[in-house]
C-alpha cells in the first residue's frame, strides 16, 4: 500500500487521474483522451500495439500507444471483435479552464454490449447473458441490446446445468456474466470451451442492490418476474448494462420468459449434429438447415427464422396456424411476391430504433426508417383479405405511421451528410429560422445588393454603396458630397478622404447574422434533428411490435418460397404418435448433390410395431443421411415449415436426441468413448415416449463384443422402459435378431452387386443387410489391388472361423445371411409401388403443356429409379 502511494505521489496529477480511471474499468482497455488522441498506457498499450499493430512508444519508461480520436471507432471495433472490452475516457470539463482537465469514463464497450453496426455479427443477434444460482435454481437471463430483446429462464432439477448449457448454445452469446460463486463452474467452463468460440466472461461478486427499481424502470407490470431470485438476476444484468453502456436503455422494455415446456427441446449435441443454424465446419451458416430455408428479406425475419428453427413448437394448434399461413402464401404466389418486394424496403427496425434510443442514430438512419415506414401500408395492402388467422393477426398487428413518416420526409434531407456535426441534414422549408440563415449564408451577396438598392431608393443617393472590410465589418459608404442626404438612423463609423462610412441597425443585425450564420445553421440543424429523434422515440414500443410481426410475416413468406422452389409438401399433424413420411428427402443433401439425384425414402415410425427401427447396411450406404432426414423433417414440421417429401404425417415430438458413435464423430473434437456413453446415459434418462431418438452406430468406440453388448442393452432398455420412437443404425448385424412383431423392425439400405462392384441404391427396404462391403468401399477409394485381394482372403478365413458363433452369444453372420438374402427379389417399399397410381391420379385435361412436360419428366425419373432397383 505504502509503495503504491509513494508511486502515485511521484507521478503527475494527470497520471494520478489516469490510474483512478483505470481502477474504475480494470478489466477493460482504457482509451484515455488527450487532446486529439486516445492514449493507452502500460499493459493496455502493449495489448493494443500488439493486437492492432501500432507502434509502441515510451514516456519516461512507461509504454504508450495512441490513436487519433476521429479514427478510433475502427480500432475499437477490432478490439471488441478480438474479445476485449474498451473503456472510453473523455475530457468533460472546459479544456481552457485552469488546472487539470476533468475526465470521466463515458462508456465501456464490450462484445456483448456493442451497438455499432460495424462491430455487430451481421444481422444475427448479439447476446449478453447472465447466470445466477439461487439454492436449487439456476437462472439465466440475457439481452440483445442492439435489438431490444430481453429474456429469462429458470432451471431446476438434476440436469439444470445441462439444459442451461443447451440454451447457451442457442444464444451463442458474445459475453457471459457469472454472479457470485457457482457450483457448476467447471462444467460450464468446459462447455464454453468446447462449444462457444468467442465469449468474454465477466464475474460479478454480488447481485444488484436496487432490484425493484431496476425492474420497474424497464418492464410493464405484466412482464415483471415474481420470484425473488429471477428479479435479482435480471436487475443485476440491467445494472451491468447501465454501468457499461451508460445511456438510456428504455428500449429494453419487454421481458419474455423462456418456457421450455412450450417447445421441442433440442440439446446442444443434436443442434450441432443436425446443423440447424450453425455448421460443424466453422460454426457459420453455410450448409445449415437455416441456409436452405432462408429466403427472408429483412434482418428481423432472418433472426426470427433462426429462432423458429431453434425453438420448434409442440402445440399442434400453433403449428397448424403457421402451416395454414405458409400454405396460403405458397398457393397465392402473386401475394407472396408483393409481400417480398415490400419487405425488401424494410430496414432493420429493431436496430434502427436502438440507435435512436441511445442517441447514435444519424440522418441516414432516419431516411432508412422513413423508407421502412412508407413500406408498411403497402405491406398491409398486400395482406388485404388474407384468409388464414395467422396472417390476419399479423396484418392487425402491423401498424402504420403516416405522420411520423411525413415528419421525416419533411425534415430530413434526401442526401444528408454522414456526420451530424457537419450539417446538411435538415431539408429546406422545414424550419423558417433555418431557411433564413441558409439564405443568409448562401445569398449574402445578393442580399447586400438588395439592401444597397433599398438604401439608394430610400435616401436618393445614387453613389451609395454597401461594403465590407475585415476590421470594420459591414458599412454603407457615402460620398462626402451627399452627406446632407444621409438619414438620421445612419451611425458614422469611419471617415476617409472622399467618403464617410456608416452603419445602420439593420446592417448591424445583418452582420451578426451573417457571421454567425454558419455556426447557427449547425446549431439549429442539430436541435431540429434532436427534436425529430425525440419524436421518433415516442413510437419505439409500437414500432418494435410492428417489427416483430414483420419478422413473422417474412419467415412465413420464406417458408412458402422454399416450399415452392424445392417442391415441399404440407405435413399433416396428428396426435397419435405416428411419423409417416413418404418419399422424404434430406433438405441439405438434396441441395448439395449435383451429379446424382437424391433418392427419396419412406419412414414409418409409431409407438407400436414400428417403435424401434434397426438399420443395417454397408458403409456409405446412406444410413446416417436417412436417420437425420427423419429428425430434420420432424423438426421442420414443428417449426411450421413444409417438408421435402411426397406426403407426411407428423405427430409432434417433445425432444429430439441424436448421438453418433464416437469414432464417427470427428468434428466435435471429443471422440472419446466416455463422452459417447455420457450422452447415451443422458438420453436414456431424459427421453420419453414422445421423444425421437437417433442413435448412429453407438458402441463403436470400444471393442466389438463390448460395443455390441452395450448397443443391444441400450435397445432393450428403450424397448422396455423408455418406449421412444428410435432409429438405430448399426454395423452389428447380430443386433438384427432383436426384431420382433411388437416393437422392433429391421431395415437395411439396398445395394446391388454387379460382379465385383457394388451399387448403392440409397433405398431403404425392410429386412437386414448381411455384409459391410468395407472391402468394396476400399476398392472404390483406390486402395492397391493386392491389398484388397489379400483383405478378401482374410475375410473369408475369418468368416469360416465363425468367431461370433463360437462366442455363443450372438447369431453368426452366415446364419443371418441365409435368413436374409442381401436383396430380396420383391423389395417392398413402405407404401408399395406408386408409378401406376401416380399416372392414374393425373388430371391430364387441366394441365398446361409445361406442367405436362414436368410431370412426364418426374414420372420418367421415378420409372428409371424403380427399374434400377430390380
Ligand atoms: P452411412 O451412414 O450409411 O455410412 P451416409 O448416410 O453417410 O452413409 O451417406 C453417404 C453418402 O451417400 C452421403 O454423403 C450422400 O452423399 C450419399 N447419400 C446418402 N443417402 C442418399 C440418398 N438417399 N440419395 C442420394 N445420395 C445419398
Ligand atoms: Mg453413417
pLDDT in tens, 763-802: 999 988 766 667 777 777 778 888 888 888 887 887 776 5
* 619 CA closest ligand 1 atom index: 4
Whose alpha carbon is nearest atom 13 of ligand 1? 622
Instruction: Compute φ and ψ for 331, nearest 5 degrees.
Output: -70, -45
Q: Which ligand is nearest to the CA of 585?
A: 1
Q: Which atom of ligand 1 is nearest to the CA of 592?
A: 16
- CATH number attached to the domain at 572-783: 3.40.50.300
Question: Can you name the CATH fold of 294-401+539-566?
Answer: MutS, DNA mismatch repair protein; Chain A, domain 3 (1.10.1420)
Cα–Cα dist 49/66, whole Å: 9
Which of the ligands is closest to the CA of residue 777? 1
Residue 706's pLDDT is what? 83
Distance CA 813, CA 704 (A): 14
Give CA–CA dist 483/501, Å, rounded.
Answer: 10
**Cα-to-centroid distance, 664 and ligand 2 (Å):** 7
Q: Rounded to an integer, what distance in angstroms lies between the CA atom of residue 621 and that of residue 760?
A: 6
β-strands 725-729, 612-616 pairing = parallel
With helix as H, strand as E and coil as C, how does 137-183 read? EEEEEEEECCCCEEEEEEECCCCHHHHHHHHHHHHCCCEEEEECCCC
Atom 4 (ligand 1) nearest CA: 620
Which SS3 state, helix, strand or coil, does residue 478 take?
strand
* Ligand with minimal distance to 619 CA: 1
CA 620 to ligand 2 center in whole angstroms: 7
Q: Which residue has the cell 401416380?
A: 838
Task: Specify whether the CB–CB gap between 651 and 578 falls below 8 A.
Answer: yes
Cα(795) to ligand 1 centroid in Å equals 25
Contact assessment for residue 196 and residue 173, using Cβ atoms and an 8 Å cutoff: yes
What is the crossing angle of helices 333-343 and 316-331, to 10°? 100
pLDDT in tens, 23-75: 999 999 999 999 899 999 999 999 999 999 898 998 878 899 999 998 899 99
Output the residue whose Cα is nearest ligand 1's atom 26: 598
Q: Which atom of ligand 1 is nearest to the CA of 627?
A: 6
Q: Which of 585, 555, 558, 553 is nearest to 569 (CA)?
A: 585
Q: Which atom of ligand 1 is nearest to the CA of 586?
A: 23
Q: Considering every ligand atom shown, identify the ligand nearest to the alpha carbon of residue 621 and give its number.
A: 1
CA-to-CA distance for 408 and 403, rounded, in angstroms? 9
Please count the other Cβ atoms lying within 10 Å of the Cβ belonging to residue 688: 11
The CATH class for the domain spanning 432-507 reads: mainly alpha
Please state the φ and ψ torsions of residue 319, each to the nearest 5 degrees: -65, -45
CA-CA distances (angstroms) from residue 795 to 7, 247, 513, 529, 815? 79, 73, 100, 82, 16
Q: What is the spatial distance between Cα 174 and Cα 196, in angstroms, rounded to a whole number? A: 9
Measure Cα distances from 613 to 297, 632, 657, 742 in Å. 41, 17, 15, 12
CB 439 within 8 A of CB 381: no
**C-alpha 620 to ligand 1 mean position (Å):** 6
Q: Considering only CA atoms, which residue is closest to atom 6 of ligand 1? A: 622
Residues with CB under 6 A from ligand 1: 589, 593, 596, 598-599, 601, 617, 619-625, 762
Which residue, among 413, 404, 446, has the nearest Cα to 431 in the 3D structure?
A: 413
Nearest CA to ligand 1 atom 12: 622
864/869 Cα distance (integer angstroms)? 9
Q: Name the residue at shortest CA distance from atom 5 of ligand 1.
A: 622
Q: How far is the CA of 769 from the centre of ligand 2 (A)?
A: 15
- Centre of ligand 2 to C-alpha 618, Å, is 9
Contact 25, 108 (CB under 8 A): yes
Atom of ligand 1 nearest to the CA of 621: 3
Atom of ligand 1 nearest to the CA of 623: 3
Chain centroid offset of residue 847 CA: 43
User: HSE-up of 159 (CA within 13 Å, CB side)?
Assistant: 14
State the ligand closest to the CA atom of 700.
2
Nearest listed ligand to the Cα of residue 598: 1
Q: Which ligand is nearest to the CA of 749?
A: 1
Q: Tell me what pLDDT residue 173 has.
A: 96
Give the fold, CATH level 3, of 122-258: Nucleotidyltransferase; domain 5 (3.30.420)
Q: How far is the CA of 105 from the centre of ligand 2 (A)?
A: 56
The DSSP annotation for 407-469 comes to HHHHHB-SS--SSGGG---BPTTS-HHHHHHHHHHHSHHHHHHHHHHHHHHHH--TT-EEEEE
773 φ, ψ (degrees, to nearest 5): 55, 20
Q: Which residues pair with 204 in a beta bridge?
A: 179
Residue 174 annotated as binding site: no
Model pLDDT, residue 365: 93
For residue 585, how far is its CA from the centre of ligand 1 (angstroms)?
11
Q: How far is CA 803 from the centre of its chain?
A: 53
* Residue 802 CA, ligand 2 centroid: distance in Å: 26
698 near 676, Cβ under 8 Å?
A: yes
Comparing CA positions, the residue from 283, 362, 360 lying closest to residue 109 is 360
Which residue's CA is the nearest one to ligand 1's atom 23?
599
**Cβ atoms within 10 Å of 449's Cβ, excluding its own:** 12
- Are the C-beta atoms of 249 and 241 separated by less than 8 Å? yes
Binding site annotation covers 287?
A: no
pLDDT value for 819 = 34
**pLDDT at position 118:** 82
**Helix, strand or coil for residue 135?**
coil
- Name the residue at shortest CA distance from atom 9 of ligand 1: 622
617 is in an annotated binding site: yes
Q: How far is the centre of ligand 2, averaged over its atoms, from the C-alpha of 696 (Å)?
A: 7
Mutating to test ligand 1, I would choose from 625, 645, 700 the residue with most ligand atoms within 8 A of its C-beta, which is 625
Distance 621 CA to ligand 1 centre (A): 6
* Residue in the structure block whose three cell numbers are 445371411: 817
For 825, residues 6+ apart whose C-beta sits below 8 A from its C-beta are none
Ligand 1 atom closest to Cα of 628? 6
CB 327 within 8 A of CB 387: no
Task: Specify the residue with its C-alpha closest to ligand 1, atom 17.
Answer: 622
Distance 761 CA to ligand 1 centre (A): 10
The β-bridge relationship of strands 744-754 and 37-41 is: unpaired
What whole-number distance in Å separates Cα of residue 85 and Cα of residue 644? 45
pLDDT at position 166: 92
Mutate which of 593, 599, 622, 731 for ligand 1? The one with the most ligand atoms within 8 Å of its CB, which is 622
Cα(621) to ligand 2 centroid in Å equals: 8
Q: Which ligand is nearest to the CA of 627?
A: 1
Q: How many whole angstroms separate alpha carbon 91 and alpha carbon 94? A: 8
User: How far does the centroid of ligand 2 lie from the alpha carbon of residue 566, in Å?
Assistant: 25
CATH of 3-109, one of 2.120.10.30, 3.30.43.10, 3.40.1170.10, 3.40.50.150: 3.40.1170.10
What is the model's pLDDT at position 92? 86
- The answer to whether 679 and 269 have CB atoms below 8 angstroms apart is yes
Q: Which of 589, 623, 632, 829 to mutate to test the pocket of ligand 1 (most atoms within 8 A of CB)?
A: 589
For residue 720 the three cell numbers come to 422396455
Closest protein CA for atom 10 of ligand 1: 620
The ligand 1 atom nearest the CA atom of 763: 23
Q: What are phi and psi of 255, to 5 degrees?
A: -115, 125
In this predicted structure, what is the pLDDT of residue 597? 87
What is the C-alpha separation between 759 and 305, in angstroms, rounded? 39
Ligand 1 centroid to Cα of residue 378, in Å, is 46
Task: Give the chain's count of helices (H) and strands (E).
Answer: 31, 27
Q: Ligand 1, closest atom to CA 585?
A: 23
CA distance 25 to 180: 19
Which residue among 620, 627, 658, 732 is best mutated to probe the pocket of ligand 1, counting the most ligand atoms within 8 A of its Cβ?
Answer: 620
Cα distance between residue 777 and residue 772, in whole Å: 9
Q: Is 624 annotated as a binding residue?
A: yes
Q: Establish whether domains 294-401+539-566 and 432-507 are of one fold.
A: yes
Closest protein CA for atom 20 of ligand 1? 622
For residue 344, the model assigns a pLDDT of: 95
Provide the 8-state DSSP code for 348.
Answer: -
Flag whether 273 is marked binding: no
- The pTM is what? 0.82
Burial state string for 316-339 with b = 16 or more CB within 10 A and e = fewer than 16: beebbbbbbbbbbbbeeeebbebb
How many residues would you count in the chain?
Answer: 870
Query: In the numeric block, which cell numbers belong to residue 69?
Result: 480520436
Burial class of residue 3, CB neighbours in 10 A (0-12, 13-18, 19+): exposed
C-alpha distances (whole Å) from 618 to each of 191, 261, 678, 772, 779 are 34, 39, 27, 4, 14
Task: Name the H helices within 469-607.
Answer: 505-537, 540-565, 589-592
What are the structural domain ranges in the chain?
A: 3-109, 122-258, 294-401+539-566, 432-507, 572-783, 826-870
The residue whose grid cell reads 455363443 is 808
Residue numbers of the chain with a pLDDT score lower than 70: 1-10, 95, 662-671, 701-702, 756, 770-773, 801-834, 849-850, 866, 868-870
Distances (CA, A) of 690 to 320, 626, 632, 740, 743: 19, 20, 16, 21, 15
Q: Dihedrals φ, ψ of 752, to 5°? A: -125, 130
Amino acid at each position: 500500500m505504502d509503495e503504491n502511494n509513494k508511486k502515485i505521489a511521484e507521478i503527475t496529477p494527470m497520471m494520478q487521474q489516469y490510474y483512478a480511471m483505470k481502477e474504475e474499468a480494470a478489466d477493460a482497455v482504457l482509451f484515455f483522451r488527450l487532446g486529439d488522441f486516445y492514449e493507452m498506457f502500460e499493459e493496455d498499450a502493449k495489448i493494443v500495439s500488439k493486437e492492432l499493430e501500432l507502434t509502441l512508444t515510451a514516456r519516461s519508461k512507461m509504454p504508450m500507444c495512441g490513436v487519433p480520436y476521429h479514427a478510433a471507432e475502427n480500432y475499437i471495433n477490432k478490439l471488441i471483435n478480438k474479445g476485449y472490452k474498451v473503456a472510453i475516457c473523455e475530457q468533460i470539463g472546459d479544456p481552457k479552464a485552469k488546472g487539470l482537465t476533468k475526465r470521466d469514463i463515458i462508456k465501456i464497450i464490450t462484445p456483448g454490449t456493442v451497438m455499432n453496426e460495424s462491430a455487430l455479427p451481421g444481422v444475427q443477434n448479439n447476446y449478453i447473458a447472465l447466470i445466477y444460482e439461487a439454492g436449487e435454481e439456476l437462472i439465466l437471463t440475457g439481452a440483445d441490446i442492439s435489438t431490444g430483446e430481453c429474456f429469462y429462464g429458470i432451471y431446476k432439477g438434476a440436469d439444470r446445468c445441462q439444459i442451461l448449457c443447451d440454451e447457451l448454445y442457442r444464444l451463442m452469446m458474445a459475453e457471459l456474466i457469472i454472479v457470485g460463486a457457482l457450483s457448476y463452474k467447471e462444467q460450464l467452463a468446459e462447455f464454453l470451451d468446447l462449444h462457444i468460440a468467442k465469449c468474454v466472461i465477466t464475474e460479478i461478486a454480488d447481485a444488484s442492490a436496487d432490484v425493484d427499481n431496476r425492474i420497474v424502470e424497464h418492464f410493464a407490470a405484466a412482464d415483471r418476474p415474481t420470484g425473488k431470485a429471477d428479479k435479482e438476476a435480471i436487475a443485476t444484468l440491467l445494472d451491468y448494462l447501465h454501468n457499461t453502456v451508460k445511456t438510456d436503455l428504455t428500449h429494453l422494455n419487454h421481458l419474455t420468459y423462456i418456457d421450455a415446456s412450450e417447445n421441442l427441446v433440442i440439446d446442444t449435441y443434436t443442434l450441432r449434429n443436425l446443423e440447424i443454424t450453425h455448421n460443424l465446419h466453422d460454426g457459420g451458416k453455410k450448409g445449415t438447415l437455416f441456409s436452405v430455408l432462408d429466403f427472408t428479406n429483412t434482418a428481423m425475419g432472418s433472426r426470427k427464422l433462426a429462432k423458429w428453427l431453434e425453438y420448434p413448437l409442440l402445440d399442434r394448434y400453433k403449428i397448424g396456424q403457421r402451416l395454414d399461413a405458409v400454405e396460403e402464401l405458397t398457393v397465392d404466389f402473386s401475394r407472396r411476391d408483393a409481400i417480398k418486394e415490400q419487405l425488401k424496403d424494410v430496414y432493420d427496425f429493431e436496430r434502427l430504433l436502438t440507435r435512436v434510443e441511445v442517441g447514435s442514430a444519424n440522418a441516414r438512419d432516419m431516411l432508412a426508417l422513413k423508407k421502412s415506414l412508407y413500406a408498411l401500408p403497402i405491406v398491409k395492402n398486400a395482406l388485404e383479405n388474407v384468409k388464414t388467422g395467422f396472417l390476419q393477426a399479423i396484418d392487425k398487428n402491423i401498424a402504420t405511421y403516416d405522420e411520423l413518416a411525413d415528419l421525416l420526409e419533411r425534415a430530413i434531407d434526401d442526401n444528408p451528410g454522414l456526420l451530424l456535426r457537419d450539417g446538411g441534414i435538415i431539408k429546406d422549408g422545414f424550419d423558417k429560422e433555418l431557411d433564413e440563415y441558409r439564405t443568409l449564408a448562401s445569398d449574402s451577396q445578393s442580399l447586400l445588393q438588395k439592401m444597397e438598392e433599398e438604401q439608394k431608393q430610400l435616401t436618393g443617393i445614387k453613389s451609395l454603396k454597401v461594403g465590407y472590410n475585415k476590421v470594420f465589418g459591414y458599412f454603407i459608404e457615402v460620398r462626402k458630397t451627399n452627406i446632407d442626404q444621409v438619414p438620421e438612423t445612419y451611425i458614422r463609423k469611419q471617415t476617409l478622404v472622399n467618403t464617410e462610412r456608416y452603419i445602420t441597425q439593420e446592417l448591424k443585425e445583418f452582420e451578426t447574422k451573417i457571421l454567425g450564420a454558419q455556426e447557427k445553421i449547425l446549431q439549429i440543424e442539430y436541435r431540429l434533428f434532436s427534436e425529430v429523434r425525440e419524436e421518433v422515440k415516442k413510437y419505439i414500443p409500437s414500432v418494435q411490435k410492428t417489427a416483430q410481426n414483420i419478422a413473422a410475416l417474412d419467415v412465413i413468406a420464406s417458408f412458402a418460397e422454399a416450399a415452392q422452389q424445392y417442391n415441399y409438401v404440407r405435413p399433416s399433424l396428428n396426435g397419435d404418435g405416428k411419423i409417416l413420411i413418404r418419399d422424404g428427402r434430406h433438405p441439405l443433401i438434396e441441395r448439395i448433390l449435383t451429379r446424382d439425384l437424391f433418392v427419396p425414402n419412406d419412414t414409418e415410425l409409431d409407438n407400436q410395431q414400428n417403435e424401434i427401427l434397426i438399420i443395417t447396411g454397408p458403409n456409405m450406404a446412406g444410413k446416417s443421411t436417412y436417420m437425420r432426414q427423419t429428425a430434420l423433417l420432424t423438426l421442420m414440421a414443428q417449426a411450421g415449415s413444409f417438408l421435402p417429401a411426397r406426403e407426411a404425417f407428423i405427430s409432434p415430438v417433445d425432444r429430439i436426441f441424436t448421438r453418433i458413435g464416437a469414432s464417427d464423430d470427428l468434428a466435435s473434437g471429443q471422440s472419446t468413448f466416455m463422452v459417447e456413453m455420457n450422452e447415451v446415459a443422458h438420453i436414456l434418462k431424459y427421453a420419453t415416449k414422445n421423444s425421437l431418438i437417433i442413435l448412429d452406430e453407438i458402441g463403436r468406440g470400444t471393442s466389438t463384443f463390448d460395443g455390441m453388448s452395450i448397443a443391444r442393452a441400450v435397445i432393450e432398455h428403450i424397448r422396455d422402459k423408455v418406449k421412444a420412437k428410435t432409429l438405430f443404425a448399426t454395423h452389428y448385424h447380430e443386433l438384427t435378431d432383436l426384431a420382433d412383431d411388437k416393437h422392433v423392425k429391421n431395415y437395411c439400405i439396398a445395394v446391388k452387386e454387379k460382379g465385383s462392384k457394388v451399387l448403392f441404391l440409397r433405398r431403404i427396404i425392410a429386412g437386414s443387410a448381411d455384409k459391410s462391403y468395407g472391402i468394396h468401399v476400399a476398392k472404390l477409394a483406390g486402395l492397391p489391388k493386392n491389398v484388397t485381394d489379400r483383405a478378401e482372403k482374410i475375410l473369408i478365413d475369418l468368416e469360416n472361423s465363425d468367431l461370433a458363433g463360437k462366442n455363443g452369444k450372438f447369431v453368426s453372420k452366415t446364419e443371418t445371411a441365409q435368413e436374409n438374402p442381401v436383396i430380396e427379389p420383391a423389395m417392398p417399399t413402405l407404401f408399395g409401388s406408386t408409378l401406376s397410381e401416380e399416372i392414374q391420379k393425373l388430371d391430364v385435361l387441366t394441365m398446361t403443356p409445361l406442367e405436362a412436360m414436368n410431370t412426364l419428366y418426374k414420372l420418367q425419373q421415378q420409372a428409371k429409379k424403380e427399374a434400377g432397383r430390380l
